[in-house]
Amino acid sequence: MNFDFTNRKVLVGGATDGIGWSSAKLFAANGAELILLGRNDKKLAKRASELSSIRSNKIRTLNIDFTKPEELEDKLSQFLLSQRLDIDVVVNNTGGPPSGRLDIASTSELISAFNMHLISYHKILGVVSKGMKERSFGRIINVISTSVKQPLNGLGVSNTVRGAVANWAKTLSNELGEYNITVNNVLPGATNTGRLNEIIRNKAQKQAIGEQLVKDGMASEVPMKRIAEPEEVAYAILFLASEYANYINGINLPVDGGRTKSL
């Protein structure tokens, strides 16, 4: 299987670290033009220069905060207009909500998580979907979590918003399929990124045990007895964006080493 994203314009959220960064590297290596989103200009510039050295595709960056959907919508639409850019592929991805129980979570935590995930993704859709429909091509891939299938303990707000994003995506896949726009979700399990390290640190503090013990415990719950590397999730994203997945629409694809206990 050879991926070829030549002439494809790919928008990657949370592109400076973790799963987003791994996806950006793979898209760049396979010929895509990229628009990297993140909140830190320095990090964005560094990542853009790293990608240019992989392959000399056009790499653009845009400083966008997913907790501010209205601002995101304005900035993104103005940017695409000024650059005369049409987006072919969107990777909806950003940082995860803070961990904690749901019963004691505040409504502001819930609102913030919904803004960061569901509402921002919907704003991005509003900016790109008209062009996708006109050109009869679009690939929307949402990086969610296995909690779509099985809620995870201690990630109450996250579980709640993930379910909403998955249902949003499934509904869109019904509505947009006739325009040759597919909408699919990738559900990472425990993956070796900054986000996972933060979750491990919190658990270790709460349980007053070492971080390595928490990490080993996580790995032991996976049939493959290890945590994923972010590239392993990124390959699933690339596949769903590629021509090999032209007829795949409306699915949830776990990349979790078999950890999820449902069919």
Ligand X SMILES: NC(=O)c1ccc[n+]([C@@H]2O[C@H](COP(=O)([O-])OP(=O)(O)OC[C@H]3O[C@@H](n4cnc5c(N)ncnc54)[C@H](OP(=O)(O)O)[C@@H]3O)[C@@H](O)[C@H]2O)c1
Site residues, ligand X (CB under 6 A): 14-20, 38-40, 43, 64-67, 93-96, 116, 143, 145, 188, 190-191, 193-196
Rounded to a whole number of angstroms, the minimum distance from the CB of residue 148 to ligand X is 10
What whole-number distance in Å separates Cα of residue 250 and Cα of residue 233? 18
- List of residues 6+ apart from 201 with CB closer than 8 A: 211
- List of residues 6+ apart from 12 with CB closer than 8 A: 20, 23, 24, 27, 34, 35, 36, 37, 91, 93
Q: 136: which DSSP letter?
A: T
Tokens at residue 65, please? 């905060």
Q: Which amino acid is at 225?
A: K
> Is residue 121 a contact partner of residue 176, using CB atoms and an 8 Å limit?
no
Rounded to a whole number of angstroms, the minimum distance from the CB of residue 6 to ligand X is 25
Please identify, using beta-carbon distances, which residue of 46 and 130 lies nearer to ligand X. Answer: 46
The number of helix segments (H) and strand segments (E) in the chain equals: 9, 7
Rounded to a whole number of angstroms, the minimum distance from the CB of residue 144 to ligand X is 7
Q: 221: which DSSP letter?
A: T
What whole-number distance in Å separates Cα of residue 263 and Cα of residue 261? 7
Rounded to a whole number of angstroms, the minimum distance from the CB of residue 119 to ligand X is 12
> Is residue 90 a contact partner of residue 9, using CB atoms and an 8 Å limit?
no
Please identify, using beta-carbon distances, which residue of 10 and 143 lies nearer to ligand X. Answer: 143
Residue 104 has phi, psi (to 5 degrees) of: -110, 10
What whole-number distance in Å separates Cα of residue 54 and Cα of residue 137? 27
Please identify, using beta-carbon distances, which residue of 7 and 223 lies nearer to ligand X. Answer: 223
Please identify, using beta-carbon distances, which residue of 39 and 133 lies nearer to ligand X. Answer: 39
Rounded to a whole number of angstroms, the minimum distance from the CB of residue 132 to ligand X is 22
Residue 184 has phi, psi (to 5 degrees) of: -135, 160
Please identify, using beta-carbon distances, which residue of 30 and 191 lies nearer to ligand X. Answer: 191
Please identify, using beta-carbon distances, which residue of 14 and 138 lies nearer to ligand X. Answer: 14
Rounded to a whole number of angstroms, the minimum distance from the CB of residue 196 to ligand X is 4
Rounded to a whole number of angstroms, the minimum distance from the CB of residue 250 to ligand X is 20
The torsion angle over the Cα atoms of residues 114, 155, 238 and 85, rounded to 10 degrees, is 20
Please identify, using beta-carbon distances, which residue of 191 and 249 lies nearer to ligand X. Answer: 191
